[in-house]
Amino acid sequence: MTSPLIVSIGFGAMARSLAASLEKGGSGLRLGGFLLPEHLPTDAPAGMRRWNSVDDLIAARPDLVIECATHAAVRETVPQLLEAGIDVVIVSIGALGDAGTVARIEAAAKTGRARAIAVSGAIGGLDVLRSAKLAGLDSVAYIGRKPPTAWKGTPAERLLDLPNLKEATVFYEGDAVEAARDYPKNTNVTAAVALAGLGFKGTRVRLIADPAASGNTHELEAKGAFGSFHILLNNKPLPENPKTSWLAALSVEQAVLRHFSSLEV
Ligand SMILES: NC(=O)C1=CN([C@@H]2O[C@H](COP(=O)(O)OP(=O)(O)OC[C@H]3O[C@@H](n4cnc5c(N)ncnc54)[C@H](O)[C@@H]3O)[C@@H](O)[C@H]2O)C=CC1
Ligand SMILES: O=C([O-])CC(=O)C(=O)O
């Protein structure tokens, strides 16, 4: 049997980590190439195939596409792939905070009889949240803490003097609607929590820049008829991108392995 064609959208820190990890993993699965618009540069290894347009990628009939690019890529590319009958793993899931995007993705998946798979990414406990929701949840709260460098290029830059921050500082408190929309490279995890639990409006979010933080920590607390739970993840960032946790890349690899396995655990 020929090995499946697995393609990423984008080839940044996460896709690179996924490619290397799959290669080492021994499953026989590998990243066969990536979709990247012509104007975007890459230093991808030679031999890795590149597609510049969605139409060309669809013509190659990939078995699985993994979006690990941007919210815009989710909006602009994913529906077309699904409509063409191609399953897509979505990593920039903060884009699903927009109801119009979700409706387009659902309609496209139905038309193409394809599946859109939202990854758990850098967070865990979503299985608990999904189960607990069935009996009714009273509250779901998420706290994200990253070093100041990880918040560069976000609205936190206007609110705080990031390079000179001396102590842990909360710069955002609100719901997951704004968090997922305004911090698209940092808080996709709030979308995972929202989708598994109380929705974007019902999820409380607190974001912290902490000069003492060595990695990205994610805290999740939920209360409901089932009881309560609290988890804390201390994630190491990817060397190439301090905003992104290594665990997020591993969760994508796990989604890929699961997709091609006959036993889903
Ligand atoms: N669900 C989760 O828990 C997590 C999600 N993420 C998200 O995953 C995505 C990838 O993360 P990284 O690899 O660290 O980012 P990165 O910035 O290192 O790489 C992004 C790649 O996408 C490319 N790109 C930009 N616009 C594009 C477009 N319209 N079409 C195709 N490619 C495009 C860039 O050139 C680059 O190759 C980001 O959106 C990030 O926010 C990151 C961490 C956790
Ligand atoms: O990787 C992380 O720690 C979280 C992240 O960037 C995101 O949710 O977008």
> For position 46, what pLDDT does the model report?
82
* Confidence (pTM): 0.96
Structure confidence by residue, pLDDT tens digits, 38-76: 999 998 988 899 999 999 999 999 999 999 999 999 999
Query: Which residues belong to the active site?
Result: 218
**Nearest atom within ligand 2 for CA of residue 243:** 6
Structure confidence by residue, pLDDT tens digits, 71-92: 999 999 999 999 999 999 999 9
CA separation, residue 58 to residues 10, 64, 83, 89 (Å): 15, 11, 10, 15
The residue to mutate among 17, 81, 88, 91, having the most atoms of ligand 1 within 8 angstroms of its beta carbon, is 91
82, 25 in Cβ contact below 8 A?
A: no
> Do 208 and 185 share a structural domain?
yes
Confirm whether residue 122 is marked as ligand binding: yes
> Do 103 and 33 share a structural domain?
yes
Which of the four pLDDT bands, split at 50, 70 and 90, describes residue 2?
Answer: confident
Judged by its nearest atom, the ligand closest to the C-alpha of residue 95 is 1
Q: Quick check: is 145 in a domain?
A: yes
> Do 13 and 73 share a structural domain?
yes
Percent of the chain scoring above 70 in pLDDT = 100
User: Phi, psi at residue 228, to the nearest 5°?
Assistant: -150, 160
Range of the domain at 83: 6-121+247-260
Q: Quick check: is 1 in a domain?
A: no
> Do 41 and 144 share a structural domain?
no
Q: How far apart are CA 110 and CA 19, in angstroms?
A: 29
Q: Quick check: is 219 in a domain?
A: yes
Q: What is the residue whose two structure tokens read 């347009």?
A: 53
> Do 144 and 106 share a structural domain?
no
CA separation, residue 27 to residues 58, 66, 257, 260 (Å): 25, 17, 8, 10
Q: How far apart are CA 47 and CA 199, in angstroms?
A: 42
> For position 75, what pLDDT does the model report?
97
The residue to mutate among 120, 142, 187, 252, having the most atoms of ligand 2 within 8 angstroms of its beta carbon, is 187
The residues near 31 (Cβ < 8 Å, ≥ 6 apart) are 6, 7, 8, 15, 18, 19, 22, 48
Structure confidence by residue, pLDDT tens digits, 114-136: 999 999 999 999 999 999 999 99
> Do 152 and 96 share a structural domain?
no
Classified as helix, coil or strand, 191 is helix
Structure confidence by residue, pLDDT tens digits, 186-242: 999 999 999 999 999 999 999 999 999 999 999 999 999 999 999 999 999 998 899
| Nearest CA-CA partner of 144 in 44, 67, 233 | 233
Q: What is the ipTM of this complex?
A: 0.98
> Do 251 and 150 share a structural domain?
no
- CB of residue 248 inside a 6 A radius of ligand 1: yes
Ligand 1 centroid–CA 225 distance in Å is 37
- The number of distinct structural domains making up the chain is 2
Q: How far apart are CA 236 and CA 246, in angstroms?
A: 6
- CB of residue 70 inside a 6 A radius of ligand 1: yes
> Do 102 and 37 share a structural domain?
yes
Q: What is the residue whose two structure tokens read 């830059």?
A: 157
> Do 115 and 131 share a structural domain?
no
> Do 104 and 23 share a structural domain?
yes
CATH number reported for the structural domain that contains residue 169 in this entry: 3.30.360.10
| Nearest CA-CA partner of 34 in 85, 166, 54, 253 | 54
Q: Quick check: is 44 in a domain?
A: yes
Q: Quick check: is 255 in a domain?
A: yes
> Do 200 and 114 share a structural domain?
no
CATH number reported for the structural domain that contains residue 91 in this entry: 3.40.50.720
